[in-house]
Structure 1
């Protein structure tokens, strides 16, 4: 290359996830075959809170979503359509007026939005973990979202078991913790419901098997942070530690009074239902602890950072290098 000629600028890609609780955008570029995350935006939209008994999104929820997309559109100015992937997940799958939301979104952000199936969401989450985690061997990947929970077993970029269940920390909050009330009965009902939704998968978990379980959601990260603040410095999540968290949780009467060490303000309203689902997952999957995942490239939500991009045909990024572990 001539000395006065600049190297071509690496192409940038954007992945946008329209989740039930939050909208996320990740911007990345691929340099020498390695994916580099260069920016993130996250906004709590509480889309699932806007679903009524007929699965119709309220005008208020739609407005919150469009406002967030408008913010994202500002950052995406100049991006080619082929470099942007926007996916809608559980709440938009369920919304009877999803078509109206999509039509209005076209006026706000000039990129197509694809509403993906639960299984496709699970597959993308798994691929994101494979791209960003150094752990080898067969993995169980768990993602507890606002409206659905995804579970995948696979290895070497090949999912072997891909499942999505209609249960999330927002939907369970509405059903089992009305008014934000915390008590033993509410929690047991939520945990039992999670077990019932997963029990048909229990034998498949055992047949497939895995060597490491990885959590890829805010619920699991929140549980880890509370455990660390309570003195469990390795941050591993085990059945015994989950029961310890449940015992501590039940000391509080409602979401507003919840003040567990290490629990952020924004997680208070979804921690109890998320914990109930996590307990159900542990019981049905039969695993003894959630294993380490790396920092850095190992982001907080795998589908945001490794799933939808780069587009098909573009050189795929290398697997992340091992780093200091942090347990989920």
Structure 2
């Protein structure tokens, strides 16, 4: 039986992802994937706007994606926009322009939908068990937290405290100053009271981080141990001690020094400092010896729905 072909576009605040796949009953294979640091939130996220420069980068990237999709003869395209677009005053106009120029209908999803898709992606990666886990995905605009297990998501919430926002608010010096870290921590204490309450209620025993920052942190750790990541694996372990060593290093290096860290990728070099501060804050509230890094997130959650891995809101994709 011939597989269905589909394209998934995840228009994140920092990174745009394209994933071209063959879909089978209960499984998929990747035809092609690419990520581009569009930084659509740069320069405007704090003012709830998409700047002209950011829009230009986004449209150039989407033209490139459209050409790749057409080259594969794919007609099923599922595009999602998250925090930067949903909060931008000119977000609706931007989405209309994308439809007009590229015939791509972008679904602007809310924080709850985003968290659910991330949960489904993490579950699909095999990173969960019967035990409750705290899951987190640090985007440029928002951070999604989910508490659940391999059967269900028990609690989920999206917070508009993503890496680009934290960078704009707190990271003025390079290396970051102790006072900036302290102000960032106070800010997180104020913003994440709902999460701290949920951790007390559901007592998760594991921590899973999805894609982005966690991919890079695990790349840095594996490089430091001279271990190669398995190409077919979707889940990687990062010992807490290993994370703490990396986080401490990130606080004390400037950008050019961070770029020299084996495993670091340039598109993460700015946000990884504040993102690591956020993870360090979370680790004060959950006692784990290791962090599980899932390479599956939102776009794989979409695939999970498309291939019938679950029934949650699959109608939203049709």
Whether TM exceeds 0.5 here: the answer is yes
Give the match's secondary structure for 1:48: coil
1:166-315 equivalences in 2 (<5 Å):
166-178=160-172, 180-231=174-225, 235-238=237-240, 240-252=241-253, 254-258=254-258, 259-284=260-285, 286-292=286-292, 300-304=295-299, 306-309=300-303, 315=308
Say if 1:48 and 1:301 are closer, same or farther in 2 by CA, change over 3 A: farther
Structure 2 residue aligned with 1:321: none
Q: Which moved more, 1:274-283 or 1:129-138?
A: 129-138
Structure 1 residue aligned with 2:85: 92
Deviation at 1:292, TM superposition (A): 4.0
Deviation at 1:97, TM superposition (A): 0.5
Aligned residues: 298
Distance 1:250 1:79 in 2: 44
Give the match's secondary structure for 2:284: helix
The structure with the larger Rg is: 1
Say if 1:97 and 1:289 are closer, same or farther in 2 by CA, change over 3 A: farther
Conserved 8 A contact 1:224-1:237: no
Distance 2:143 2:46 in 1: 21
Say if 1:282 and 1:181 are closer, same or farther in 2 by CA, change over 3 A: same
Q: Is it true that 1:124 corresponds to 2:114 in the alignment?
A: no
Distance 1:62 1:266 in 2: 18
Conserved 8 A contact 2:46-2:165: no
Conserved 8 A contact 1:145-1:217: no
Distance 1:84 1:243 in 2: 40
Deviations 1:183-216 (A, max 9, x none): 2222222233223322332131132133432211
Deviations 1:91-122 (A, max 9, x none): 00111110221121113321211111111111
Say if 1:73 and 1:232 are closer, same or farther in 2 by CA, change over 3 A: closer
Structure 2 residue aligned with 1:320: none
For normalisation by structure 2, the TM-score amounts to 0.84
Say if 1:166 and 1:236 are closer, same or farther in 2 by CA, change over 3 A: same
Give the match's secondary structure for 2:154: strand
Structure 1 residue aligned with 2:65: 72
Q: Is it true that 1:27 corresponds to 2:28 in the alignment?
A: no
Distance 1:246 1:24 in 2: 26
Q: Is it true that 1:39 corresponds to 2:29 in the alignment?
A: no
Give the unaligned 5+ runs of structure 1.
Answer: 1-7, 318-328
Q: Which moved more, 1:49-58 or 1:155-164?
A: 49-58
Conserved 8 A contact 1:13-1:310: no
Structure 2 residue aligned with 1:139: 133
Give the match's secondary structure for 1:49: coil
Say if 1:93 and 1:139 are closer, same or farther in 2 by CA, change over 3 A: same
Pick aligned residue for 2:154 from 157, 160, 166: 160
Deviation at 1:232, TM superposition (A): 9.6
Distance 1:54 1:134 in 2: 37
Structure 2 residue aligned with 1:17: 10
Say if 1:31 and 1:270 are closer, same or farther in 2 by CA, change over 3 A: same
Distance 2:173 2:101 in 1: 34
Distance 1:225 1:315 in 2: 31
